[in-house]
Homo-oligomer: A and B are copies of this chain.
């Protein structure tokens, strides 16, 4: 019925379509992230759905998901495909991460905004400025920064060393 065969793609075509260099596709394949079959001439051929995989890879990367984690998802595919269920689970997980990231960034933006607004980076003018070492009070201990700006907020609030 359908004369459109939607044939498989060469590595060059994939690269063009997916917007990544050929070398990257080689790399992804070596890392087990995408698959191909070979022609007589030993050239790679990609099922069109591999394009979708590349899209997922790049998308996930944009959210900060490392390749190892993406592979973990892909490795869950019994038949080499992601079942809707698996996808939903991963998507939910990544969406959560997304939410976290968005929240972090929004907090950061707010902080920057108020910093700009109040000129608080200038020791001379910031109403929050306070020469005492308030944070010293709560001692040492494990710290976290990236993905958790709580302490930044605290410093901003205490106004410690408000100048740079």
Contact = CB atoms under 8 A, between A and B. Distances in A.
B99 A102 contact: no
Contact of A52 (B58, B84, B163): B163
B55 A152 contact: yes
A116 B92 contact: yes
Interface in A91-123: 91-92, 94-95, 98-99, 101-102, 104-106, 108-109, 111-113, 115-116, 119, 121-123
Given A51-B160, A84-B121, A143-B19, A131 B4 contact: yes
Given A6-B132, A81-B163, A62 B108 contact: yes
A161 B52 contact: yes
Contact of A162 (B16, B52, B77, B151): B52
Contacts of A121: 82, 84, 87-88, 91
Interface of A: 2, 4, 6, 16-20, 47-53, 55-56, 58-59, 61-63, 74, 77, 81-84, 87-88, 91-92, 94-95, 98-99, 101-102, 104-106, 108-109, 111-113, 115-116, 119, 121-123, 125, 131-133, 135-136, 139-147, 149, 151-152, 155, 160-164
